[in-house]
């Protein structure tokens, strides 16, 4: 059942990405427009998704489950970083970054909420926060080759971390928020999937499809990100008796997502091959329509 819902959702997201591609090709989304949409997504929509996930009745069981989700997220990241290092080393900087970091925010959260419901984002926030933490520390060192480029301020002063802290306060304190506020947050959060995929469609429009599908290197890196990382993650989960059930499957969806959009952003920022990075993001996103349901089909047998 989970696999079927996930397949339907990935197809929907693929169609939304094609809409973004079409709008870009028609000149209806410009470079500046895509940046503006990305800012809306990063600074308004994703924080609202996180806040909404915390707007639930407090219980000790949920708090304990949140702690378990954080531990599981760390285990998943150890797997992805390990695979990235073993397969790409430190010489292939973009590839290392691409394999290590999945698109947990733009794709992981929408998929999790579609499959498990809005409250499930509550458990994927740990993974998304870890993505932010490691991208601005470990990720920067990998892609730039310089430890001095680490920006600790960005680790803690960013929309995901701030909204998580506010969400935790709301979850523990349980204030009564006006329906106007909760309703507004809900409407903004609902824009997450469409905006994220339209932006990815814009990225895709900037890549020549002939080059995208003709490069063996792109397929290899995408396969490592989409298949090897989740497979190793599942094997490591099997070593821990507590890594079973819905929370583990939620984390696995985030861990099995395609190459993070931030790969292109960081590549551009640190003078790496921006177009190559965009190609990794686009091809892996297209292929994930098939790989994500496959990964979950296998994972359900072992981790449910």
208: left (phi over 0), alpha (psi -120 to 50) or beta: beta
What the block records as the tokens of 281 is 């993001």
Residue 68 φ then ψ, to 5°: -65, -40
What's 205's domain CATH number?
1.20.1530
DSSP state of 102: B
What the block records as the tokens of 261 is 């959009």
Q: How many domains does the chain have?
A: 1
Q: Identify the pLDDT of residue 157.
A: 77
178: left (phi over 0), alpha (psi -120 to 50) or beta: beta
Nearest-angstrom CA–CA distance, 37 and 242:
39
Nearest-angstrom CA–CA distance, 78 and 125:
17
pLDDT in tens, 255-289: 999 998 888 878 877 778 878 888 899 899 999 99
Domain that holds residue 82: 2-303
Q: Identify the pLDDT of residue 236.
A: 94
Give CA angle at 133 (51, 304), nearest 5°. 65
Helices (H) and strands (E) in the chain, counts: 18, 0
Cα dihedral: 197, 198, 203, 209 (round 10): 90
Going by C-alpha positions, the residue among 118, 106, 93 that lies closest to residue 270 is 93
Going by C-alpha positions, the residue among 196, 81, 201 that lies closest to residue 131 is 81
pTM summary value:
0.85
Nearest-angstrom CA–CA distance, 106 and 288:
13
pLDDT in tens, 14-59: 899 899 999 999 999 998 888 888 889 888 988 898 888 888 888 8
Mean predicted lDDT score pLDDT of the chain: 87
pLDDT in tens, 139-174: 888 888 776 666 667 777 778 788 888 988 998 898
| Other CB atoms within 10 Å distance of the CB of residue 123 | 26
Using the predicted structure, report yes or no on whether residue 230 has a pLDDT greater than 70. yes
More confident residue, 180 or 270: 180
Q: Identify the pLDDT of residue 274.
A: 79
pLDDT in tens, 195-206: 888 988 888 888
Q: Identify the pLDDT of residue 180.
A: 96
Say if CB 141 and CB 266 are below 8 A apart.
no
Say if CB 258 and CB 103 are below 8 A apart.
yes
- Quickly list DSSP for 224-268: IIIIIHHHHHHHHHTT-TT--SHHHHHHHHHHT--B-THHHHHHH
Nearest-angstrom CA–CA distance, 203 and 107:
15
Nearest-angstrom CA–CA distance, 64 and 60:
6
Q: Identify the pLDDT of residue 300.
A: 87
Say if CB 107 and CB 196 are below 8 A apart.
yes
Q: Identify the pLDDT of residue 146.
A: 73
Using the predicted structure, report yes or no on whether residue 65 has a pLDDT greater than 90. no
């Amino acid at each position: 059942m989970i696999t079927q819902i996930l397949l339907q959702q990935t197809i929907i997201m693929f169609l939304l990405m094609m809409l973004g591609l079409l709008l870009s090709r028609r000149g209806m989304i410009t470079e500046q427009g895509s940046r503006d949409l990305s800012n809306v997504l990063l600074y308004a929509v994703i924080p609202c998704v996180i806040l909404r996930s915390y707007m639930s009745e407090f219980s000790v069981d949920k708090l304990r489950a949140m702690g378990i989700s954080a531990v599981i997220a760390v285990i998943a990241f150890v797997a992805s970083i390990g695979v990235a290092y073993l397969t790409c080393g430190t010489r292939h900087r973009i590839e290392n970054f691409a394999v290590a970091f999945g698109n947990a925010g733009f794709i992981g959260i929408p998929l999790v909420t579609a499959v498990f419901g809005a409250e499930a984002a509550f458990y994927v926030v740990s993974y998304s926060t870890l993505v932010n933490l490691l991208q601005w520390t470990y990720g920067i060192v990998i892609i730039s080759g310089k430890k001095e480029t680490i920006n600790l301020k960005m680790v803690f002063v960013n929309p995901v971390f701030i909204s998580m802290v506010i969400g935790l306060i709301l979850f523990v304190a349980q204030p009564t928020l006006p329906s106007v506020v909760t309703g507004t947050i809900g409407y903004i959060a609902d824009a997450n999937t469409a905006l994220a995929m339209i932006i990815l469609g814009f990225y895709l429009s900037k890549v020549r499809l002939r080059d995208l599908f003709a490069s063996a290197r792109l397929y290899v890196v995408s396969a490592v990100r989409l298949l090897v990382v989740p497979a190793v993650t599942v094997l490591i989960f099997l070593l821990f008796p507590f890594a079973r059930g819905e929370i583990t499957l939620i984390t696995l969806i985030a861990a099995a997502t395609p190459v993070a959009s931030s790969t292109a952003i960081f590549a551009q920022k640190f003078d790496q091959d921006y177009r190559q990075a965009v190609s990794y993001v686009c091809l892996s996103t297209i292929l994930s329509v098939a790989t994500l349901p496959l990964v979950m089909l296998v994972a359900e047998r072992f981790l449910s």
